[in-house]
C-alpha cells in the first residue's frame, strides 16, 4: 500500500506539472497576454508544432562547411571549378530523381484542371509535356525510345528526361501546391475535391494564405483553425458554415516550398563528406559520390560491379554482357546503384540534373560564402488599385499569359490561380545594405553594371544589359506578305551562349564519360532547352534546428 501511495503521488505530481506547463505555454512569457484566446485578442501561437516532418520521398541533409569546386582533374585548366570554402544550410532533398510516373502524374493533373479543349487553356498542357524527340538521332535507330520512354510502364520508375529547366521549376511549384492541398484535405479543412467531379480548381498555396475565398469554392466547406466563438443567444452555425480563424503560416501546417537545389546544395549533398570526416576535418578528397577512387565496387558480394551508370568508352555504354556491365545503356531505374553517405541515389551517373543557379564561369565567395546562389530576382506581390492582391487569370481578367521561347515553344507565364509578382522598385531598396536591386543575376560578375556607381534609370529595378555577347530573345513580327505573326530570331554573330537565361546542370549521366561523375564538375545550357541526359530532383528548406538527431562520434573512422 505504501508503494502504491508513492507511485500515485509521483504520477499526480507529473500530471500537475504537465498541466501547468501546458497552461503556461498559452501565455506570453514577457507580457502575460494569453495566446489562442478569443476573449483576449485572439493572438496566435502554435503550441502543437512538434518539429518539421521530412517531406515524402525526401532525405534530410545536415548542412555545414565544404570546399566547393574541389575537383580531382581540371584538364581544361579553365578556372571553372576554382575551390571555394562555402557554408550550406540544412535542407531536405529527394532521395532519387523525379521519375516518369511522378512527372506523368503532374501532366495528368494539369490536363484535368486546365483542359486543352478550353480556348483559354489550350497551350498550358503542351507547355508541361517533356520533349520526347530528344531521343532521335539522325544516324540512329532510337524512335522506340521517343515513343515509349516517357509513357510506357516499363520505364515508369526511370528518371524523366526531355524536361527543360523552366519545366522542372514549374513542377516544383506544382508539387508544393499538390502536397499542401492534400494536407488541407487530410486535416479536414476542406472536402476532398478529387471525389467531387464538378470541382476542378487551380490551387495555389500563397493565394490561399492571402485570400482563401478567392481560391476555394464555398461548396468545399473550408474550415479554419479552432471554432468561432458564439455570443449568448446566437444560433448554432450550420455544419457547412466557416468555422474558426483563417489558416496562416504561423500554424505550420504547410510544407516549405519545393524548388530546384542550388549548385552549392547539390554538390554538398553529392559529395557527402561526412563519410571521410575526422573530428572537425576532412580526410582527403572524394572523386565521386561514394567513398573511393574507382567506379567499381570493392564489396565482396558485388566486387567488380559498376557503382554508377555512365559511358565507359567510345561506343561502350554498358560494358560487355554480364559481370562487367553497369546494367544500362540508357538511364536506369532509380535506386539501381548504392546510395551515398546521405542516403541519396544516383548523385554520380544515370542522368545529370538541373540546379537553380544562373551559370557564370566564376563563383564569387568573397561576396557571399553562406548558402551561395546566383539568380536572385527580388519581387513583391502585385496590388491592384483597390488594394487587393492580383491573382493570375482571375474572374476580372481571365486571359492566360504566354511567352514564346527562343526555340519557338509556347510556355505559360503563370498558371491561373497563382499570385502575380512584380520586381521591387528603388523605393523598396532605399537605404538597404543587404541588397540594392531587384535582378541580382549578373551582380559581381565583372561587368560595369556590377560597379558600385552604376545608376539604373528606370524606376523598376529589373533587367539590365548583359556583359555577355549572347543571342537575344526572338521577337514577334507580322509577315508583310501573309499577315501572320512570325518569330524572328537574332541573326547577328554572337560569341557565347552565356546569358542570364543560362542555367547550371551537375553530375554525370548515362551518356557521359567518367570525368563528369565528379560532383564538382559543372556545365550549362539555356533554360528553355532539354536533352535526353538531363533530369532533376527537388529540395525543400529545413526550418528550425540544423538537425534533430544526436551528435555522432567526433571521429567516426575509429
pLDDT confidence band for 18 (50 / 70 / 90)? low
With a cut of 80, say whether residue 481 has pLDDT above it: yes
Q: Is residue 309 part of a domain?
A: yes
Domain that holds residue 528: 58-175+254-372+503-548
Q: What is the pLDDT of residues 23-75, one digit of tens each?
A: 456 788 888 888 877 777 778 776 667 778 899 999 999 999 999 988 877 77
Question: Do 366 and 264 share a structural domain?
Answer: yes
With a cut of 50, say whether residue 536 has pLDDT above it: yes
Average pLDDT over residues 383-401: 86
Tell me the C-alpha distance between 481 and 441, whole Å.
40
With a cut of 90, say whether residue 345 has pLDDT above it: yes
Question: Do 171 and 81 share a structural domain?
Answer: yes
- Total domains, the chain: 2
- Residue-level pLDDT at 62: 94
Its pTM stands at 0.88
- Residue-level pLDDT at 151: 95
With a cut of 90, say whether residue 502 has pLDDT above it: yes
Q: What is the pLDDT of residues 169-182, one digit of tens each?
A: 999 999 999 999 99
Q: Is residue 455 part of a domain?
A: no
List the Cα angle 10/14/19 in 5-degree steps.
Answer: 150
- Residue-level pLDDT at 224: 73
Q: What is the pLDDT of residues 193-208, one digit of tens each?
A: 888 766 677 889 999 8
Question: Do 131 and 86 share a structural domain?
Answer: yes
Question: Do 105 and 150 share a structural domain?
Answer: yes
H helices, E strands: number in the chain: 9, 18
Question: Do 282 and 143 share a structural domain?
Answer: yes
Q: What is the pLDDT of residues 257-297, one digit of tens each?
A: 999 999 999 999 999 988 888 777 777 778 899 988 889 88
Question: Do 362 and 215 share a structural domain?
Answer: no
- Cell 506570453 belongs to residue: 28
**Neighbour tally for 261: CB within 10 Å:** 28
Question: Do 276 and 310 share a structural domain?
Answer: yes
pLDDT confidence band for 476 (50 / 70 / 90)? confident
Q: Which residues are 58's β-sheet partners?
A: 94
By C-alpha distance, which of 190, 248, 259, 182 is closest to 49? 248
- Residue-level pLDDT at 518: 93
With a cut of 90, say whether residue 140 has pLDDT above it: yes
CATH of the domain at 520: 3.90.1580.10
Percentages helix, strand, coil for the chain, rounded to the nearest 5?
Answer: 25, 15, 60
227, 514 Cβ separation under 8 angstroms: no
Question: Do 279 and 258 share a structural domain?
Answer: yes
Average pLDDT over residues 499-522: 94
Amino acid at each position: 500500500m505504501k508503494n502504491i501511495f508513492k507511485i500515485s503521488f509521483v504520477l499526480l505530481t507529473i500530471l500537475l506539472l504537465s498541466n501547468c506547463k501546458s497552461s503556461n505555454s498559452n501565455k506570453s512569457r514577457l507580457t502575460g497576454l494569453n495566446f489562442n484566446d478569443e476573449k483576449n485578442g485572439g493572438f496566435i501561437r502554435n503550441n502543437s508544432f512538434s518539429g518539421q516532418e521530412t517531406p515524402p520521398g525526401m532525405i534530410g541533409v545536415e548542412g555545414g562547411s565544404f570546399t566547393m569546386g574541389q575537383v580531382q582533374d581540371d584538364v581544361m585548366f579553365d578556372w571553372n571549378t576554382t575551390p571555394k570554402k562555402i557554408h550550406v544550410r540544412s535542407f531536405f532533398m529527394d532521395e532519387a530523381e523525379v521519375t516518369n510516373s511522378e512527372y506523368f502524374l503532374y501532366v495528368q493533373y494539369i490536363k484535368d484542371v486546365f483542359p486543352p479543349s478550353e480556348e483559354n487553356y489550350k497551350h498550358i498542357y503542351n507547355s508541361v509535356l517533356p520533349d520526347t524527340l530528344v531521343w532521335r538521332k539522325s544516324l540512329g535507330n532510337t524512335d522506340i525510345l521517343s515513343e515509349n520512354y516517357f509513357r510506357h510502364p516499363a520505364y515508369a520508375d526511370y528518371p524523366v528526361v526531355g524536361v527543360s529547366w523552366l519545366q522542372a521549376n514549374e513542377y516544383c511549384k506544382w508539387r508544393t501546391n499538390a502536397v499542401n492541398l492534400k494536407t488541407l484535405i487530410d486535416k479536414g479543412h476542406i472536402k476532398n475535391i478529387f471525389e467531387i467531379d464538378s470541382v476542378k480548381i487551380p490551387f495555389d498555396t500563397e493565394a490561399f494564405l492571402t485570400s482563401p475565398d478567392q481560391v476555394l469554392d464555398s461548396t468545399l466547406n473550408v474550415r479554419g483553425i479552432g471554432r468561432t466563438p458564439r455570443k449568448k443567444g446566437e444560433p448554432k452555425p450550420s455544419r457547412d458554415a466557416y468555422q474558426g480563424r483563417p489558416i496562416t503560416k504561423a500554424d505550420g501546417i504547410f510544407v516549405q516550398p519545393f524548388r530546384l537545389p542550388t549548385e552549392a546544395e547539390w554538390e554538398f549533398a553529392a559529395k557527402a563528406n561526412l563519410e571521410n570526416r575526422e573530428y572537425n576535418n576532412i580526410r582527403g578528397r572524394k572523386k565521386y559520390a561514394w567513398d573511393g577512387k574507382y567506379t567499381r565496387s570493392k564489396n565482396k558480394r558485388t566486387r567488380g560491379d559498376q557503382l554508377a551508370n555512365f559511358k565507359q568508352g567510345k561506343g561502350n555504354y554498358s560494358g560487355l554482357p554480364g559481370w562487367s556491365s553497369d546494367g544500362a545503356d540508357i538511364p536506369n531505374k532509380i535506386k539501381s546503384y548504392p546510395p551515398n553517405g546521405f542516403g541519396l541515389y544516383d548523385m554520380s551517373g544515370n542522368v545529370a540534373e538541373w540546379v537553380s543557379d544562373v551559370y557564370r564561369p566564376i563563383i564569387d565567395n568573397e561576396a557571399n560564402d553562406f548558402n551561395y546562389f546566383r539568380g536572385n530576382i527580388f519581387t513583391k506581390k502585385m496590388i491592384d488599385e483597390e488594394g487587393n492582391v492580383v491573382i493570375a487569370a482571375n474572374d476580372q481578367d481571365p486571359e492566360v499569359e504566354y511567352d514564346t521561347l527562343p526555340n519557338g515553344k509556347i510556355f505559360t507565364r503563370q498558371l491561373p490561380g497563382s499570385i502575380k509578382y512584380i520586381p521591387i522598385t528603388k523605393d523598396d531598396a532605399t537605404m538597404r545594405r543587404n541588397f540594392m536591386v531587384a535582378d541580382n543575376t549578373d551582380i559581381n560578375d565583372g561587368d560595369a553594371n556590377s560597379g558600385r556607381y552604376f545608376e539604373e534609370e528606370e524606376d523598376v529595378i529589373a533587367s539590365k544589359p548583359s556583359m555577355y555577347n549572347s543571342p537575344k530573345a526572338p521577337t514577334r513580327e507580322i509577315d508583310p506578305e501573309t499577315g501572320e505573326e512570325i518569330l524572328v530570331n537574332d541573326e547577328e554573330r554572337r560569341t557565347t551562349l552565356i546569358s542570364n537565361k543560362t542555367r547550371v546542370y551537375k553530375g554525370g549521366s548515362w551518356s557521359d564519360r567518367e570525368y563528369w561523375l565528379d560532383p564538382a564538375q559543372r556545365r550549362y545550357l539555356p533554360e528553355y532547352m532539354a536533352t535526353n541526359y538531363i533530369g532533376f530532383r527537388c529540395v525543400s528548406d529545413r526550418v528550425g534546428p540544423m538537425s534533430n538527431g544526436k551528435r555522432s562520434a567526433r571521429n567516426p573512422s575509429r
